[in-house]
Amino acid sequence: MFYERFYRETFDEAGVLQSATLSYPDDYNFAYDVLDPLAELYPNKLAMLWRNAAGVERRLTFSDFRRLSNQAANVFRSLGLEKGDVVMVSLKTHYEFWYIALAAHKLGLLLSPVFHLLSVDDFAYRMRKSHAKLFISTHEGDTPRRVREAAESIGLSALYTVHKALPGFRNFTELVEAAPEQLPRVPTRADEPILLYFTSGTTGEPKGVLHDHAFTLPTALGSRYMQDASPDTLHFATGNTAWEVVCGTKFYGHWFCEASLFVYDYERFHAEEVLAQLEALRVTSIMAQPTVYRQLLEVGMDGYDLSSITCFAVGGEKLTQDVSDAVYRQTGQVLYEGYAQSEAGLIAANSKNMGRREGSMGRILPKYHVEILKDDGSLAEPGEHGEIVILADRHQRPVGLLSGYFEDPEADAGLWDGDIFHTGDEGYRDADGFLYYLGRADGLIKTRGYRVSPFEIENELSRHKSVYEALAVGAPDARYGQHIRVYVRLADGISPSDTLREELLAFHNERCSGFKKIKALEFVSEFQRNSNGKIIRNQFSLE
């Protein structure tokens, strides 16, 4: 596969990946060194099958993306953009995102994808903070209005939409179609930034996370060794293009493996429509969050012919056992879970090649030197708990980690503790290198001198047939520091009652150690979620 031009891999006698040594030129650029050669080698191979909820379809080959990215780059040049300028985009899952991103990479521009449902103030903050020179928006819904108002507030006038012009916006698609198809290579370096993602800003203002050209390289390992990508793959993944997860689930990594992408562009997720598409197109692999799998299970995955799918991958939030078990019952397939961070990409994964263990986030990929750091500063032995950290090799930042924060030297200074990169996540690993995630260091429940992972509580409780999903938190306790409080969303058709509360408490507490017992349990009708679908863990007052 194409990624093998950059990796030298070794395997054990059973064919399991043991090491992956990376080699690339100083001027490495994904658009020039991966996409363009793929267009030469396989000009007519399907790179993307794109559909939207209205039934519109586009089939795009690797040569189509080379042509379109060249044309878009020529548009950027004609508009006066220069290397290092910031192009901000809010394009949902429109296929234009991919060729616009490639065009930006070819010119050394800094692409900043942002979520289309941001408020006017949120858009304005990101435009101002990034010094955006140009904004390309979806033409759909209310997003253009909010983008326009935000741009007016900071004096940004270079506004574009795809597909059609709107008041205050020029039609970028029309400009691309009229632009020249040839583009001479623009000099860039592998260590220069190409992506600017803004954090969610749960504490303070959002920070800008920077990734460089070389960041794209390790995505190949995740696509190959978690999602089983190959030239025969037609892969579907959820996720808005505003999120970094797209890089490793439906962009760079899969094209490194010469795979084809199925991109379904919808405003709202409807499980029936998605399942029908997966069946009709004979999709071969899927990557989604546990929340998405819950919705697919409610409709009934066994009501559709999904026999073409040979790899079901899951990530984005912790997988509970009830979802894993239900997917197996309905499809006969196991879920392959992984552990990733926006700052570092995929760190560990269960996979067909490297094995799978229940409860584990998977085997640590040979892209980072990962250790578990105990409270006393020593490195943990297998089975010992501590913070998951990444170590630098001879003071060199590992390829794949963020290159820094945008114009934030204070935040940059806190990235490294000597040669240690702190993930802020707690976990442990076993003797075979499988990683077990316990939770965010500041989210662990500290009770009676013990640290309890909220996921352990939620996972056990989710086994009860009346529980749809649960959220465990630590509530202040004068005697024990914290006690365990759980919020439960019940399955459809189940009504809350004091009798059921006592039943759930007994169901959990009779199975768990004394320090893991639930003290308080409350019923809720819904959980608040962030824009990426994850449950917001601090949504309840604990006073």
pLDDT tens digits for range 420-444: 998 888 999 999 999 998 887 777 7
Query: Residue 543 — pLDDT band, cuts 50, 70, 90?
Result: low
- DSSP letter assigned to residue 306: -
- Domains delineated in the chain: 1-24+217-367 (3.40.50.12780), 443-524 (3.30.300.30)
Mean pLDDT of all residues in 26-53? 98
What is the structure's pLDDT at 18? 94
Of the given ranges (315-324, 356-365, 413-422, 446-455), which has the lowest mean pLDDT?
Answer: 446-455
Mean pLDDT of all residues in 272-278? 96
448, 481 contact by CB (below 8 A): yes
Mean pLDDT of all residues in 26-40? 98
Query: Residue 418 — pLDDT band, cuts 50, 70, 90?
Result: confident
How far apart (Å, rounded) are the C-alpha atoms in residues 385 and 161?
50
Query: 450 pLDDT exceeds 90?
Result: no
What angle, rounded to 10 degrees, do the helices at 271-281 and 290-299 form? 90
Q: What is the pTM of this model?
A: 0.86
Structure tokens at 189: 């370096």
What is the structure's pLDDT at 535? 81
Mean pLDDT of all residues in 368-384? 93
What is the structure's pLDDT at 336? 96
Percent residues over pLDDT 70 in the chain:
98
Q: What mean pLDDT, rounded, does the chain reach?
A: 92
What is the structure's pLDDT at 449? 66
What is the structure's pLDDT at 293? 94
Burial group, residue 142, by CB count within 10 angstroms (0-12, 13-18, 19+) = exposed
What is the structure's pLDDT at 124? 96
End-to-end CA distance of the chain: 56
Query: 209 pLDDT exceeds 80?
Result: yes
Mean pLDDT of all residues in 343-364? 93
Mean pLDDT of all residues in 527-534? 74
Query: 410 pLDDT exceeds 90?
Result: no
How far apart (Å, rounded) are the C-alpha atoms in residues 40 and 63?
7
pLDDT digits (tens, 9 = 90+) for 135-158: 999 999 999 999 999 999 999 999
What is the structure's pLDDT at 430? 95
Secondary element (H or E) of residue 277: helix 271-281
How far apart (Å, rounded) are the C-alpha atoms in residues 397 and 191?
11
* Secondary structure (DSSP) of 126-172: HHHHHT-SEEEE-SSTTHHHHHHHHHHHHT---EEESSS-BTTBEEH
Estimate the share of the chain in helix, then strand, then coil, as percent rounded to the nearest 5: 30, 30, 40
Structure tokens at 136: 């390309």
Query: 202 pLDDT exceeds 70?
Result: no
pLDDT digits (tens, 9 = 90+) for 241-267: 998 889 989 999 999 999 999 999 998
Query: 17 pLDDT exceeds 60?
Result: yes
Query: 64 pLDDT exceeds 90?
Result: yes
Which residue type, as a one-letter code, is found at position 328?
A: Y
Alpha helix (H) residue ranges in 364-480: 409-413, 454-461
Q: In whole angstroms, how far apart are CA 67 and each of 5, 105, 107, 134, 182?
A: 23, 14, 15, 22, 8
Structure tokens at 287: 């990557």
- DSSP letter assigned to residue 34: I
Query: 70 pLDDT exceeds 50?
Result: yes
How far apart (Å, rounded) are the C-alpha atoms in residues 379 and 371?
7
Which residue type, as a one-letter code, is found at position 346?
A: L
Query: 515 pLDDT exceeds 70?
Result: yes
Query: 203 pLDDT exceeds 80?
Result: no
